[in-house]
């Protein structure tokens, strides 16, 4: 058994990968893109036709003249214009190091694993989810950054306040430090419709069906109360977060077991709206981008998602209506738990890099006050440190500002990674929301059985440990004492 008072982390991502919600964060199939902004076939770059990720061979020894080339991989495309610029600035000013910046837009984690196994790992790469992070640590693919960190880096990024056990930290070893975060979900609503009908976004989930029904009746076929992306992670886009704000999570940290019972009111609420025809027709079979288009065009009054919608509704699918943002409704109308916020904007260092000091200097540059200020003011992420939050001009971040300032957001502890039989819990819970779906009670009972059987089995086999936080506080999830049990 191991006990730790260290902050725990990353919204249950140990057993469920948080989906890439931002459409503009992913690129074309199979592409890789260099800092020069040119595209090539996957696995290649424009810099001397060197294989992408060839960071341990002779191509990495020098770049221009006697400069060391540091190869950096990322799966983020949404910030490429800005990152190209700051990479260009670095390369023009630095006479010792040259950055080769490559965007890998497909099978990112598999590419990283294959590159490491073949001796062609990039020197640096963007953070991965908690499950992959643990595998990378266990397999010696990445190395701790503790010995490299300067006082300036620690000050800007408030390192000691953002150590997430199992997601960025293992024991005393710090493998990456988040500089930013993606804000949690909000209700995004058509303000014109709400104002015309004299409605307010409800505080309680039990009030939502009535409001959605009123809107649908007033719309007379032109617009509907609410819309869901039925085949693009509908449950995790906001329903799950509404439950979190009510103190409900899939894993019961106090008992060290999975318990999906608390989700029942949300399933009943959504099913009621479907049965009353208050949901935009065809929602159950829609992907996220068509949902965004319908909301943008004014055909649905309520849409729920995270902070990436600020860019989507201003640039990707510019809204033709006036829209606004409100806190998610909760079970009682009060916020009794934290909403998961996704830490991001961090860099992992390959254990195979031949130039760790130079690689660290690139991390320090990417995480510097000047670079982060431009990044956050460009709306690419939100600052996770109070230091940077106080230094950005909020007027420059546009509608991203609508998603900031929630003091109830936090990073949740990483629950044990398990592989249960049957459906993933998110798929099962969403299917139970549908009018022709399975019984809500039976679905919950089955999830409780399959997930706990998997947990018991895998703990017994030594594949994972049972996480228990007896003094867990849903509003302050990182303040409790963590225990890892082998039974």
**Distance (Å, whole) CA 99 – CA 74:** 13
Sign, CA dihedral 351-43-91-159, equals negative
Sign of the CA dihedral running 148, 153, 155, 160: negative
Quote the pLDDT of residue 75. Answer: 93
* pLDDT at position 184: 86
Q: What is the rounded distance in angstroms from the CA atom of residue 98 to the CA atom of residue 120?
A: 18
Res 65 pLDDT > 80: no
pLDDT 10s digits, 285-302: 999 999 999 999 999 999
pLDDT of residue 468: 97
Q: Which of 416, 463, 426 is nearest to 14 (CA)?
A: 416
Percent of the chain surpassing pLDDT 90: 77
44 pLDDT exceeds 50? Answer: no
Question: 333 vs 51, which has greater pLDDT?
Answer: 333
Instruction: List, in order, residues 6 or more apart from 354 with CB less than 8 Å away.
Output: 55, 56, 60, 61
Segment 368-378, tens digit of pLDDT: 999 999 999 99
Q: What is the pLDDT of residue 62?
A: 53
The yes-or-no answer to whether 2-182+342-410 and 186-340 have a common fold is: yes
Residues 327/331/334/339 CA torsion (nearest 10 deg): -50
pTM: 0.79
Q: How many residues does the chain have?
A: 487
Q: What are 443-458's pLDDT values in tens digits?
A: 999 999 999 999 999 9
The CATH H-level superfamily of 2-182+342-410 is: Periplasmic binding protein-like II (3.40.190.10)
Q: Which of 50-54, 133-137, 280-284, 321-325 has the lowest mean pLDDT?
A: 50-54
Q: Any idea where the domains of the chain sit in the sequence?
A: 2-182+342-410, 186-340
* Range with the poorest average pLDDT among 5-19, 227-241, 322-336: 5-19
Question: What does the pLDDT look like over 401-430, one tens digit per residue?
Answer: 899 878 899 999 989 989 999 999 999 999
pLDDT of residue 37: 38
Distance CA 405, CA 241 (A): 16
SS (H, E, C) the chain: CEEECCCECCCCCCCCCCCCCCHHHCCCCCCEEECCCCEECCCECCCCCCECCCCCCHHHCCCCCCCEEEEEEECCCCCHHHHHHHHHHHHHHCCCEEEEEEEECCCHHHHHHHHHHCCCCCCEEECCCHHHHHHHHHCCCEECCHHHCCHHHHHHHCHHHCCCECCCEECCEECCCCCEEECCCEEEEEHHHHHHHCCCCCCEHHHHHHHHHHHHHHHCCCCEEECCCCCCCHHHHHHHHHHHCCCCCCEECCCCEECCHHHHHHHHHHHHHHHCCCECCCHHHCCHHHHHHHHHCCCEEEEEECCCHHHHHHHHCCCCCCEEEECCCECCCCCCCCEECEEECCEEEECCCCCHHHHHHHHHHHCCHHHHHHHHHCCCCEECCHHHHCCCCHHHCHHHHHHCCCCCEECCCCCCCCCCCCCCHHHHHHHHHCCCCCCHHHHHHHHHHHHHHHHHHHHHCCCCCEEECCCCCCCCCCCCCEEEECC
pLDDT score of 31: 43
Quote the CA–CA distance of 366 and 346 in Å, as a whole number. 9
Most confident of 58-62, 143-147, 182-186: 143-147
Give the pLDDT confidence score for residue 42 in this predicted structure.
Answer: 33
- Position 94 pLDDT exceeds 90: yes
- 51 pLDDT exceeds 50? no
Residue 365 near residue 159 (C-beta atoms within 8 A): no
Class for the domain spanning 186-340: alpha beta
Name the nearest CA neighbour of 385 among 146, 181, 84: 181
Query: Is the confidence at residue 123, as pLDDT, over 70?
Result: yes
């Amino acid at each position: 058994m191991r006990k730790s008072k260290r902050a725990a982390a990353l919204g249950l991502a140990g057993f469920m990968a948080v989906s890439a919600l931002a459409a503009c964060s992913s690129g074309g199939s199979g592409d890789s893109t260099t800092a020069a902004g040119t595209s090539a076939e996957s696995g290649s770059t424009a810099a001397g036709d060197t294989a992408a990720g060839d960071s341990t061979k002779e191509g990495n020894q020098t770049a221009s003249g006697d400069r060391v080339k540091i190869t950096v991989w990322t799966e983020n495309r949404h910030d490429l214009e800005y990152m190209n610029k700051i990479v260009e600035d670095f390369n023009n000013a630095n006479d010792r190091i040259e950055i080769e910046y490559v965007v890998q837009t497909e099978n990112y984690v598999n590419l990283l694993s294959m590159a490491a196994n073949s001796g062609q790992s990039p020197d640096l790469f963007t953070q991965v989810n908690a499950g992959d992070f643990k595998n990378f640590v266990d397999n010696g693919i990445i190395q701790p950054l503790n010995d490299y960190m300067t006082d300036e880096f620690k000050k800007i990024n408030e390192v000691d306040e953002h150590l997430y056990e199992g997601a960025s930290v293992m024991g005393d070893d710090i493998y990456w430090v988040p500089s930013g975060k993606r804000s949690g979900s909000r209700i995004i609503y058509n303000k014109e419709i709400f104002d015309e009908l004299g409605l307010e976004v409800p505080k309680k989930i039990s009030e939502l069906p009535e409001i959605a029904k009123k809107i649908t009746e007033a719309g007379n076929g032109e617009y509907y109360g609410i819309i869901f992306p039925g085949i693009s992670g509908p449950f995790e886009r906001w329903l799950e977060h509404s439950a979190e704000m009510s103190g409900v999570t899939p894993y019961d940290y106090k008992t060290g077991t999975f318990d999906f019972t608390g989700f029942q009111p949300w399933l009943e609420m959504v099913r009621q709206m479907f049965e009353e025809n208050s949901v935009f027709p065809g929602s159950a079979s829609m992907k996220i981008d068509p949902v965004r288009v319908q909301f943008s065009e004014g055909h649905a009054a309520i849409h729920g998602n995270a902070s990436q919608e600020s860019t989507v509704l201003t640039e990707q699918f510019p809204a033709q209506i006036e829209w606004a943002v409100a806190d998610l409704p909760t079970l009682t109308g009060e916020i009794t738990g934290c909403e998961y916020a996704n830490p991001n904007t961090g860099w992992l260092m390959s254990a195979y890099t031949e130039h760790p000091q130079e690689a660290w200097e690139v991390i320090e540059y990417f995480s510097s006050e000047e670079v982060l200020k431009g990044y956050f003011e460009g709306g690419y992420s939100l600052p996770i440190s109070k230091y940077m939050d106080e230094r950005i001009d909020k007027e420059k971040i546009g509608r991203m500002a609508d998603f900031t300032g929630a003091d109830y957001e936090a990073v949740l502890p990483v629950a044990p990674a398990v592989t249960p039989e049957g459906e993933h819990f998110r798929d099962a819970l969403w299917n139970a929301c549908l009018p022709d779906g399975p019984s809500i009670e039976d679905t919950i009972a089955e999830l409780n059985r399959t997930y706990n059987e998997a947990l018991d089995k895998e703990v017994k086999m030594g594949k994972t440990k049972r996480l228990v936080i007896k003094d867990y506080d849903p509003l302050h999830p990182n303040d409790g004492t963590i225990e890892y049990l082998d039974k």
